[in-house]
Amino acid sequence: MIKSSVLKGLTFVALAGVLSGCGTTTHQSKSSTASQKSSQTQTKRQKLISELPKGVKSSDSDLVLVNKWHKRSEMSFSKSSVNGIAVRSSIVKPLEAFLAGAKKAGYPTTVVSGYRSVAYQKEVWDQSIQTYENQGKSAKQALKLTKEFVAVPSGSEHETGLAVDIMNTHWYNTHGNQLLSSSDKNKGQQWLINHAADYGFVLRFPKDGVKSTGIDYESWHFRYVGKKSAAFMVKHNLTLEQYVSLLQAREKAGK
């Protein structure tokens, strides 16, 4: 059931992605401006490192990084079910609190997806390629589109059990049970995005984070990182990749 809705969603997500994929880049013409900028960036980074939350380490299990550049084979951890969806047992309480908070605010939610095994992700990947080929795309095009919209097997955060796809139930049910970024126009979805950090979650693939996450904007994919880290990441508009890199820099400096 999840599979078919994920795949159904793909076609639409794919279209939206293709249409919005034409950004423009501006180039600094003077090298002095560029070097000034880079030293400013360096200072900003040092300041951020000095402000990182105390007692958090890049190796903490809540911060495990899985993406297309950091693939992980199947991890072992205890799993539990929330609303019929499997997640890592350690996030059951914060997830239930998050969902209860949304409901109390008047926005009931549907948990669409949680933990997925590496084998399952491989199945989603293969099915996506098949779907594109059935639509008349060449093998090369099918692979390219799949790469854009499906996490590569062993590179999906859903394998950590710390990631959940959560949708405002009303929006989800009235939009063909699809995961679409335009769901962020819905007040209930906005509530989830704006309050996630209060429960230790972050919107994992923000609009302006594509370069560092390697994944297009997703208004439904939430990742548990713990309250301290979530608050810091939201305050400074950091992706998990950027946050972990700052923590590693602090550890390297021996602080």
Cα separation of 58 and 52, whole Å? 11
CB of 158 to Zn ion, least distance (A): 6
> Of 32-40, 80-88, 160-168, 195-203, which segment contacts Zn ion by CB under 5 A?
160-168
Phi, psi (deg, nearest 5) at residue 110: -120, 125
Q: Which is nearer to Zn ion, 56 or 239 (CB)?
A: 239
- Provide the strand spans (E) within 101-228: 109-113, 163-168, 201-203, 221-224
| Residue among 225, 107, 212 at smallest CA distance from 166 | 107
> Of 43-51, 157-165, 180-188, 195-203, which segment contacts Zn ion by CB under 5 A?
157-165
Which strands make up the sheet holding 221-224, listed edge to edge? 109-113, 163-168, 221-224, 201-203
CB of 252 to Zn ion, least distance (A): 31
Interface pick for Zn ion out of 10, 111, 153, 165 (rule CB under 5 A): 165
| Residue among 237, 201, 225 at smallest CA distance from 48 | 237
> Of 54-62, 103-111, 135-143, 164-172, which segment contacts Zn ion by CB under 5 A?
164-172
State yes or no: residue 216 binds Zn ion (CB under 5 A): no
Interface pick for Zn ion out of 214, 221, 222, 240 (rule CB under 5 A): 221
Residues near Zn ion, by CB under 5 A: 165, 221
